[in-house]
């Protein structure tokens, strides 16, 4: 017998009900208000910018902040910071009829020629956070959804926006900049950026068959002597780039909607039950 444990229909329906109820409780929003395209972020400022620029309300539950734009068919959700929160939001949103999701996050650039304010498009992430182990064993790579990232780069190219492509390291160690062993490890494994959510989101998206990518803003250059993020530099990044980052995300969502109308390859937002029914002994 195949060692994959399949859920019964009763178990699946119970899990779906609990997930939807939890999302409503954590977000303060009815699940039916969520739009087909979801932008995930770590920053309440992004949600407020989105809401103010679209003249829609910000809704806050016990954990998340959200805003919905039915006209654009886009929802933005602030799920806070870190890989456990990333796993939680994917596990909850996976039970909604979401067509695709995009992380609008920030990262530390790990190359000397990178500049704060440029974008980083991760094609994969080193699973240094541990949470992704709950989805797949270590030999499974953490890859962003190809179609989502292709659309991201298309939008950046069309708008002549500077960006870099590469691998990010996802860590749960927030104060790693002063850990020499960790810094040495980064040099050995050679990621181009570092952040705290991508590996978990990519693995969770792959597990739930939710197409998920990321558009990251380089907010600091932590390997440089004077490049570690401070309160002042963080405020400057928010003041300078919030609107542009959110608008780029919305452009990606619109382009994805067009691509999916033409049945673009690379999306696997099918039924888990149909997928599981193909597994044989």
243 within some domain: yes
Mean pLDDT over residues 271-281, rounded? Answer: 32
What whole-number distance in Å separates Cα of residue 44 and Cα of residue 57? 13
Q: Assign 275 a pLDDT band (cuts: 50, 70, 90).
A: very low
The region that residue 108 occupies, defined by phi over 0 for left and psi between -120 and 50 for alpha, beta otherwise, is: beta
Number of domains in the chain: 1
The 10s digit of each residue's pLDDT in 103-115 is 999 999 999 999 9
pTM of the model: 0.91
Q: Is the pLDDT of residue 71 over 80?
A: yes
275 within some domain: no
Nearest to 118, CA basis, from 130, 110, 126, 127: 110
CATH number (domain holding residue 45): 3.40.50.1580
Q: What sign results for the dihedral spanned by CA atoms 272, 277, 280, 281?
A: positive
Q: Is the pLDDT of residue 278 over 70?
A: no
Spacing of C-alpha 145 from chain mean position:
11
**3-class state of residue 203 by DSSP:** helix
H or E segment to which residue 15 belongs: helix 9-27
Nearest to 33, CA basis, from 24, 25, 41: 24
What whole-number distance in Å separates Cα of residue 239 and Cα of residue 88? 29
Within 65-185, strands assigned E span: 65-69, 74-78, 100-109, 119-128, 142-143, 163-171
The 10s digit of each residue's pLDDT in 130-158 is 999 999 999 999 999 999 999 999 999 99
H or E segment to which residue 59 belongs: strand 59-60
Q: Higher-confidence residue: 273 or 191?
A: 191
268 within some domain: no
Q: Which residues of 111-121 are buried (b: 16+ CB within 10 A; e: fewer)?
A: beebebeebbb
Q: Could you tell me the residue range of the domain that residue 140 belongs to?
A: 9-262
274 within some domain: no
Q: What sign results for the dihedral spanned by CA atoms 209, 211, 217, 223?
A: positive
272 within some domain: no
The 10s digit of each residue's pLDDT in 155-202 is 999 999 999 999 999 999 888 999 999 999 999 999 999 999 999 999
């Amino acid at each position: 017998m195949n060692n994959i444990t399949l859920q019964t229909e009763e178990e699946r329906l119970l899990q779906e009900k609990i997930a939807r109820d939890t999302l409503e409780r954590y977000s303060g929003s009815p699940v039916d208000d969520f739009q087909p395209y979801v932008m995930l972020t770590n920053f309440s400022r992004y949600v407020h910018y989105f809401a103010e620029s679209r003249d829609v309300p910000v809704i806050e539950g016990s954990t998340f902040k959200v805003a919905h734009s039915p006209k654009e068919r886009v929802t933005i959700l602030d799920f806070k910071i870190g890989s456990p929160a990333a796993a939680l939001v994917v596990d909850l949103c996976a039970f909604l009829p979401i067509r695709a999701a995009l992380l609008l996050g920030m990262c530390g650039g790990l190359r000397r020629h990178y500049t704060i304010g440029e974008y980083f498009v991760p094609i994969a992430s080193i699973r240094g956070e541990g949470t992704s182990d709950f989805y797949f064993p270590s030999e499974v790579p953490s890859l962003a959804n190809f179609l989502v990232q292709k659309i991201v780069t298309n939008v950046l190219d069309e708008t002549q926006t500077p960006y870099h492509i590469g691998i990010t390291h996802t860590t749960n160690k927030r104060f790693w900049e002063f850990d020499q062993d960790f810094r040495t490890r980064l040099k050995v494994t050679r990621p181009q950026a570092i952040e705290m959510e991508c590996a978990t989101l990519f693995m969770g998206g792959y597990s739930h068959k939710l197409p998920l990518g990321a558009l990251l803003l380089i907010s600091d250059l932590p390997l440089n002597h004077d490049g570690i993020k401070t309160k002042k530099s963080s405020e400057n990044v928010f003041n300078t780039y919030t609107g542009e980052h959110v608008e780029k995300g919305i452009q990606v969502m619109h382009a994805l909607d067009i691509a999916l109308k033409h049945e673009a390859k690379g999306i696997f937002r099918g039924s888990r039950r149909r997928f599981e029914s193909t597994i044989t002994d």
